């Protein structure tokens, strides 16, 4: 709650109505001089109040903002509030010795408070709030013994609070120092001030002594947003006059809420949100029957059932219990709170049905129960008794049944969120009667529409203010009608992803002139893209991917000046890329892959110097690459593979220092690999497979420290393969089928010799050039015949046990031959990476589905066991944050897992590149995804599963940057639910828990340790085994020591350059790294469990979002 200062100062400036005779004002000259000095120190007076009114030709008592006493006509009050004045306070103001009220709130006065103000002995009210004063709070304020109200809120004062403010002769009743930069302990002398009624010290960095209970007259205490820690002082509950208590966002208050809180029977406002309280709520809290505002949000450790006694708090208007661990049923007694306007029970563990009595609270303006486990149906008459309802959020529950048509009676409804449930049946037409509706989210349900034509849009056209409509992932099974163009003139966001929509995109869609986001991806749309989309001048994101659209790309799209993301991939678009594409100057991501585009890439494309990602792969584009490709200095991803490009690779590509992923594979490029590629300092992936490149592999590539994947196979390269830098880690798969490469034995190429081959050797090479292909072809034919027979004889030897344990909806029978076809014979072109027990390939099944195929190297020790473990675990579990298994293929001499394909790679790739910059929210979301996956493994299955190898490379990212945990090759099932011991540890050094490395003890707490290390690495961009760490310094110790300085000293510098709100970021990072250290405690029993990790991280994220919005 924002502290506004004393109610008696309304901030309005009034001239004294008494008219003073000019001839009687000679005794006022000292006052006039002081006030004219103040006027001279005003550098900006936007309303010209002082300029035009404060004149020596009139009495000061007639000046605006000046009040004189009625008897002696002395200046007793000066109020210049809310005038936008800029300036400083001159020392001459100290000459206004009879001032009782000095108020200049809400201006831009700066500098320090002059010492001469200490002469104002009659001052009762000093209000300098909402200015820009700086320096320390003057100790001379303590000399003003008649001062009752000291308000210095929202300035830039720093240092400690001087104890001299609170001397024994002070008359202070109210002190407001909120929102400065004060630190240290609150002086204990403040708690000897028996006259104090209001204390506001919020938004500083203060700590509190225990003497607060001595303030028996205290009515208002605002201590939110400080550095308090430990339990609440028990003496606080002796302040029986207390009405307002705000301790929000201190982060370190902990322990249980004392039953003594029931002593505060006068309490009307209580805010303990964003702390670390735990345990159940004491029943005495519900004896505070004067409570009107109760906020316990985001403590995350309040647990237990919500007592029916909450129904005793009948004066409540605001109730917020969101983001905790409350469980059990929601008590029906909440229906007794007939004054309630807003309540939030979201993000808890409530189960059961929603009490019907809640829908009888006619005063409700909004309620949220999002993110619980609520089930059952919504009452059909729910809309009849809530005439004032403006918003309701019931998303992410387990609600079912039909959406009640009576919702249309919520005539004031602005936002409705029913997403992520199991609602079915028809979307009510009556939603169109909600004239004030702005946001409607029904995504991820099973609702549909009445007819094959989506007539529902004609009803939505009655929602005059509708701006956001999300019906994605529902089986609408219809055709978009022209009436979609009649939606509200305020309409901004339309998401119909994955709704099985057929037919054409209606031309009237161009009428949605304020649209900023439109996704129609993953449907069955056909026909051409209407040129009317070019009328959507506000559009920032357009996704039409994964449909059957054909024809040319309309040039009209190229005049959408605000378009930042354009996704048209996975269609049947043809002809050329428009030359006018250079008009899309705001474009950051362009994906036209998997279409039928032809002709040359327009040179105008390369003028988009701010674009980050370009994917034109799998088309029929031809011609040479332009040298102007080097203009795209911030480009991070360029994929031109599987086209018909020819000519030489331009040297200018080497200047793209931000490039992370470069694929020119499967084209007709020739000439040498440019030496300038050594300048691609951020490069992680370089794929040049399947061209006609010749010459040597440049030594300059040895300097690419982040390069993880290289493929130059199927070219005409010669000479020695470089051996330094990233080449140490490459395998033979990177260099297959070239003319005359040589190098180390492990690369399956001849050893290099110093002398060039003589005539006879050269003749032998020429003979082999013709003989070997024929011999190879013969061997290949024989092998295929043998493999076919073996497959025929073993076609029923698949892992039936694993198949049976998978849901039938996802099981697919895939043969070895199909895998060969999907990967083009396990072509290096499709190699995604290599792990401990084999290689992972990208494959495309006959129906166009992308998959990742993990092929086990059965010659490696442990490969068979790894395969069995992954089959057993992945075949039994399903979670949105675990990589899903689609099928297995298992024969005597071939074993492979067919997994869900993750197009965005892994977390390690994104962290260790200078261009794949993940912002704070990306990192928080990914780590929450990982925590949810681990929570499921530990708690969501009958037998706890320990992953044993959490690290960035095992966190894969899908198209939406959602994290998925992968690689269960060394995972363990804990049959007794606690721990087991093994003799050989195979986890990754730096991430494994101490007890795992030294004693082989496997437990869920070991995963928590690994998670903590992963959390540190994600935000610091420092590996636990970096060269900077030694026996004396580790990543964990580095984090611990950073708390004495600033956490910003050790975090990834990319975050500093991509975030604006450093205060919110530092608060977030401190909490996150503190949580990471808690995960990494040396002793397993001291570590937090993953359930609480997830809860705390969700709290940290929500506070970060809150701080950003309020900042």
| β-strand partners of 318 | 293, 342
DSSP string, 194-212: TT--EEE--SSEEE--GGG
Q: What are phi and psi of 558, to 5 degrees?
A: -75, 5
Contact 855, 780 (CB under 8 A): no
**In the β-sheet with 596-597, what is the strand arrangement from edge to edge?**
550-551, 572-575, 596-597
Contact 110, 89 (CB under 8 A): no
**Residue 854 is assigned to a ligand binding site:** yes
3 state DSSP class of 794: coil
Neighbouring CB atoms inside 10 A of 1000's CB total 13
Look at the alpha carbons of 702, 707, 711, 712 in this order and tell me if their dihedral is positive or negative.
negative
3 state DSSP class of 448: strand
3 state DSSP class of 897: strand
* Type and span of the H or E element at 885: strand 885-890
| β-strand partners of 479 | 453, 502
Of 285, 279, 277, 273, the residue nearest 246 (C-alpha): 273
Of 154, 266, 261, the residue nearest 200 (C-alpha): 154
DSSP assigned state of 173: -
Calpha distance 161→981 (Å, rounded): 57
Contact 88, 45 (CB under 8 A): no
Calpha distance 545→521 (Å, rounded): 5
Neighbouring CB atoms inside 10 A of 831's CB total 22
The length of the chain in residues reads 1111
Q: What are phi and psi of 467, to 5 degrees?
A: -120, -25
Calpha distance 974→944 (Å, rounded): 5
Q: Which residues contact 781 (CB under 8 A, 6 or more apart)?
A: none
Query: How many helices (H) and strands (E) would you count in the chain?
Result: 15, 67
What value, to the nearest 5°, has the Cα angle with vertex 741 and ends 739 and 746?
Answer: 130
Return the structure tokens found at 954: 């095992």
* Type and span of the H or E element at 866: helix 863-874
**Please, what is the end-to-end C-alpha distance for the chain in angstroms?**
15
Return the structure tokens found at 485: 């163009």
CA Rg value for the chain: 35
Of 144, 178, 136, 192, the residue nearest 160 (C-alpha): 136
Calpha distance 1057→190 (Å, rounded): 42
Calpha distance 908→956 (Å, rounded): 9
Contact 534, 557 (CB under 8 A): yes
Distance of CA 963 to the CA centre of its chain: 12
Calpha distance 697→687 (Å, rounded): 13
Catalytic residues, by residue number, are: 949
Calpha distance 954→836 (Å, rounded): 12
3 state DSSP class of 352: strand
| β-strand partners of 278 | 256, 301
Return the structure tokens found at 77: 């009050």
Annotated binding site for ATP: 854
Annotated binding site: 854
């Amino acid at each position: 709650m924002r502290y506004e200062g004393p109610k008696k100062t309304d901030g309005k400036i009034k001239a004294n109505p008494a008219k003073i005779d000019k001839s009687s004002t000679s005794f006022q000259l000292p006052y006039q001089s002081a006030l004219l000095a103040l006027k001279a120190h005003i550098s900006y007076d936007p309303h010209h109040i002082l300029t035009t009114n404060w004149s020596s030709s009139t009495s000061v008592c007639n000046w605006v903002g000046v009040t004189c006493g009625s008897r002696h006509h002395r200046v007793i009050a000066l109020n210049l509030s809310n005038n936008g004045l800029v300036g400083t306070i001159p020392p001459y103001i100290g000459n206004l010795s009879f001032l009782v009220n000095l108020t200049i709130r809400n201006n831009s006065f700066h500098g320090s408070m002059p010492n001469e103000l200490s002469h104002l002995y009659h001052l009762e009210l000093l209000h300098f709030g909402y200015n820009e004063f700086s320096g320390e709070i003057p100790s001379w304020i303590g000399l003003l013994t008649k001062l009752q109200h000291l308000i210095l809120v929202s300035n830039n004062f720093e240092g400690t609070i001087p104890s001299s403010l609170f001397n024994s002769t002070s008359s202070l009743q109210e002190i407001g120092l909120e929102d400065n930069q004060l630190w240290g302990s609150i002086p204990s002398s403040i708690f000897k001030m028996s006259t104090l009624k209001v204390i506001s010290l919020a938004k500083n960095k203060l700590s509190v002594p225990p003497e607060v209970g001595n303030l028996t007259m205290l009515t208002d205490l605002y201590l939110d947003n400080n550095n308090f820690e430990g339990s609440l002082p028990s003496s606080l509950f002796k302040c029986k006059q207390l009405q307002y208590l705000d301790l929000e966002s201190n982060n370190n208050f902990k322990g249980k809420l004392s039953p003594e809180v029931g002593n505060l029977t006068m309490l009307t406002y209580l805010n303990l949100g964003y702390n670390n309280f735990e345990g159940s709520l004491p029943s005495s809290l519900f004896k505070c029957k004067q409570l009107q505002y109760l906020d316990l949000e985001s403590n995350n450790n309040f647990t237990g059932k919500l007592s029916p006694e909450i129904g005793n708090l009948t004066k409540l208007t605001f109730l917020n219990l969101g983001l905790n661990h409350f469980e059990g049923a929601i008590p029906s007694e909440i229906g007794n709170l007939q004054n309630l306007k807003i309540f939030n029970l979201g993000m808890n563990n409530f189960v059961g049905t929603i009490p019907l009595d809640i829908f009888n609270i006619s005063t409700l303006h909004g309620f949220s129960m999002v993110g619980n486990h609520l089930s059952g149906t919504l009452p059909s008459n729910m809309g009849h008794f809530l005439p004032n309802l403006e918003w309701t959020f019931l998303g992410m529950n387990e609600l079912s049944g039909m959406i009640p048509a009576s919702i249309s009676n919520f005539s004031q409804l602005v936002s409705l969120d029913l997403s992520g449930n199991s609602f079915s049946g028809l979307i009510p037409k009556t939603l169109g009667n909600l004239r004030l509706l702005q946001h409607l989210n029904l995504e991820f349900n099973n609702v549909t529409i009445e007819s094959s034509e989506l007539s529902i849009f004609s009803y939505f056209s009655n929602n005059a203010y509708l701006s956001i409509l999300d019906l994605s992932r529902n089986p609408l099974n219809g055709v978009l009608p022209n009436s979609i163009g009649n939606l509200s003139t305020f309409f901004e966001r339309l998401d119909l992803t994955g709704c099985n929509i057929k037919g054409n995109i209606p031309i009237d869609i161009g009428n949605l002139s304020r649209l900023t986001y439109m996704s129609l991806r993953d449907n069955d749309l056909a026909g051409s893209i209407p040129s009317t989309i070019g009328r959507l001048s506000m559009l920032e994101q357009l996704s039409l991917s994964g449909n059957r659209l054909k024809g040319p790309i309309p040039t009209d799209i190229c005049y959408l000046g605000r378009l930042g993301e354009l996704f048209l991939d996975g269609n049947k678009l043809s002809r050329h890329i428009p030359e006018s594409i250079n008009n899309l100057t705001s474009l950051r991501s362009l994906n036209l892959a998997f279409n039928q585009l032809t002709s040359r890439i327009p040179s105008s494309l390369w003028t988009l110097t701010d674009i980050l990602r370009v994917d034109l792969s799998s088309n029929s584009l031809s011609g040479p690459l332009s040298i102007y490709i080097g203009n795209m200095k911030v480009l991070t991803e360029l994929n031109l593979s599987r086209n018909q490009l020819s000519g030489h690779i331009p040297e200018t590509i080497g200047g793209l220092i931000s490039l992370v992923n470069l694929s020119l594979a499967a084209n007709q490029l020739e000439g040498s690999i440019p030496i300038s590629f050594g300048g691609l300092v951020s490069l992680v992936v370089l794929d040049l497979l399947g061209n006609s490149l010749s010459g040597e592999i440049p030594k300059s590539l040895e300097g690419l420290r982040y390069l993880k994947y290289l493929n130059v196979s199927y070219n005409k390269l010669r000479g020695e393969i470089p051996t330094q830098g990233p080449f140490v880690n490459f395998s033979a798969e990177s260099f297959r089928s070239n003319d005359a490469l040589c190098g180390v034995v492990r690369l399956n190429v001849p050893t290099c010799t110093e002398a060039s081959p003589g005539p006879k050797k050269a003749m032998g090479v020429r003979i082999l050039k013709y003989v070997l292909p024929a011999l190879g072809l013969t061997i290949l034919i024989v092998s295929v015949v043998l493999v076919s027979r073996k497959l025929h004889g073993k076609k029923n030897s698949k892992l039936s046990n694993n198949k049976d344990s998978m849901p039938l909806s996802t099981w697919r029978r895939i043969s070895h031959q199909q895998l060969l076809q999907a990967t083009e014979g396990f072509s290096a072109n499709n190699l995604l990476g290599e792990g401990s027990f084999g290689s992972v390939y990208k494959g495309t099944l006959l129906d166009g589905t992308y998959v990742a195929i993990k092929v086990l190297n059965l010659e490696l020790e442990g490969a068979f066991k790894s395969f069995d473990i992954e089959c057993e675990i992945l075949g039994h579990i399903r979670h949105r944050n675990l990589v899903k298994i689609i099928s297995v293929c298992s024969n005597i001499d071939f074993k492979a897992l067919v997994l869900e394909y993750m197009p965005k790679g892994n977390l390690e790739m994104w962290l260790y590149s200078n261009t794949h910059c993940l912002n704070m929210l990306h990192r928080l979301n990914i780590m929450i995804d990982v925590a949810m996956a681990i929570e499921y493994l530990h708690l969501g299955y009958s037998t706890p599963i320990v992953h044993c190898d959490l690290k960035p490379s095992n966190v894969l990212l899908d198209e939406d940057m959602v994290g998925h945990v992968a690689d269960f090759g060394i995972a363990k099932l804990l049959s007794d639910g606690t721990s087991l011991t093994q003799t050989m540890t195979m986890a990754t050094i730096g991430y494994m828990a101490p007890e795992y490395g030294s004693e082989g003890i496997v437990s869920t707490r070991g995963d928590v340790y690994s998670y903590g290390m992963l959390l540190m690495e994600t935000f610091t961009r420092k590996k636990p085994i970096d060269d900077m760490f030694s026996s004396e310094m580790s990543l964990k110790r580095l984090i611990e020591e950073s708390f004495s300085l600033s956490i910003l000293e050790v975090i990834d510098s990319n975050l500093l350059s991509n975030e604006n709100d450093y205060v919110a970021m530092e608060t977030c990072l401190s909490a996150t790294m503190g949580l990471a250290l808690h995960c990494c405690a040396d002793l397993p029993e001291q570590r937090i469990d993953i359930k609480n990790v997830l809860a705390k991280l969700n709290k940290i994220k929500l506070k970060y979002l809150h701080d950003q919005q309020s900042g």
